[in-house]
């Protein structure tokens, strides 16, 4: 199974596990657990016209949610992730793993963007500058024409606002 893991480890990590956990170390642990579970349960895999990547993805999603339950993260965030990043397999199940990963990545971006559209533009800009473009705090403060301390508060409020709207359905 090693060639399978070598091929699918990166898309599982970047498009399935890390977006659900956010934490790199935890994501790596879940990836390892996913592979171990796949090796132990490989006799349960049945070819049904779907790539084995879909099966690995299901294991990874469940492992990620186990982490949330185990660490007793806020239930609302876990629910929000369940809504925004569903565990159901993507529509095109027969697609190649790369295509599935690309589709998942696009969906993740779309859902994050949809939530960003719900929050105040100034909060959205703070998140965009610091978390997406990874500009230093000083640079972000300059662009928003505030002090660094004020920018810290702005970003703090922005992420809280995002969390509030994440998982909401219109």
Q: How far is the CB of 49 from other proteins (least distance, A)?
A: 26
* CA–CA gap between residue 33 and residue 10 (Å, rounded): 14
119 contacts 162 by C-beta, under 8 angstroms: yes
Binding-site string for other proteins from residue 100 to residue 139, where x marks contact by CB under 8 A and - marks none: -----x--xx-xxx------x-xx---x--xxx-x--x--
Query: If you ran DSSP here, which 8-state letter would residue 15 be given?
Result: I
Using the contact rule CB under 8 A, the part of the chain among 47-55, 56-64, 90-98, 157-165 near other proteins is 157-165
Is position 10 an interface residue for other proteins (rule: CB under 8 A)?
yes
**Helix intervals (H) in 71-147:** 75-84, 97-116, 121-127, 137-144
Q: How far is the CB of 143 from other proteins (least distance, A)?
A: 14
- Residues 6+ positions from 87 with CB-CB distance below 8 Å: 58, 61, 62, 65
Kindly state the tokens that stand for 71. 């660490």
* CA–CA gap between residue 170 and residue 149 (Å, rounded): 34
Buried b or exposed e, range 30-61, using 16+ CB within 10 angstroms: bbebbbeebeeeeeeeeeeebbbbbbbbbbbb
Q: How far is the CB of 74 from other proteins (least distance, A)?
A: 5
Is position 50 an interface residue for other proteins (rule: CB under 8 A)?
no
Number of residues forming the site for other proteins (CB under 8 A): 65
Is position 169 an interface residue for other proteins (rule: CB under 8 A)?
no
Residue 31 vs 61, nearer CB to other proteins: 31
- Residues near other proteins, by CB under 8 A: 2, 5-6, 9-10, 13-14, 18-25, 28, 31-33, 35-36, 39-40, 43, 72-79, 81-82, 105, 108-109, 111-113, 120, 122-123, 127, 130-132, 134, 137, 149-150, 152-164, 166
């Amino acid at each position: 199974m090693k060639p399978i893991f070598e091929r699918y480890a990166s898309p599982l990590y970047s498009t399935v596990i890390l977006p659900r956990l956010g934490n790199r170390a935890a994501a790596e642990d879940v990836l390892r657990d996913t592979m171990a579970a796949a090796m132990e349960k490989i006799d349960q895999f049945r070819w049904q016209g779907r790539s084995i990547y879909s099966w690995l993805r299901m294991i990874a999603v469940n492992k990620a949610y186990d982490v949330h339950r185990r660490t007793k993260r806020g239930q609302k965030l876990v629910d929000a992730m369940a809504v925004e990043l569903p565990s159901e397999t993507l529509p095109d199940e027969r697609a190649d793993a790369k295509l599935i990963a690309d589709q998942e990545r696009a969906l993740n971006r779309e859902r994050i963007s949809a939530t960003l559209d719900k929050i105040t533009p100034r909060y959205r800009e703070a998140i965009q500058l610091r978390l997406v473009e990874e500009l230093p705090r000083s640079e972000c403060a300059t662009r928003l024409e505030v002090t660094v301390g004020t920018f810290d508060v702005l970003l703090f409020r922005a992420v809280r606002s995002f969390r509030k709207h994440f998982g909401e359905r219109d």
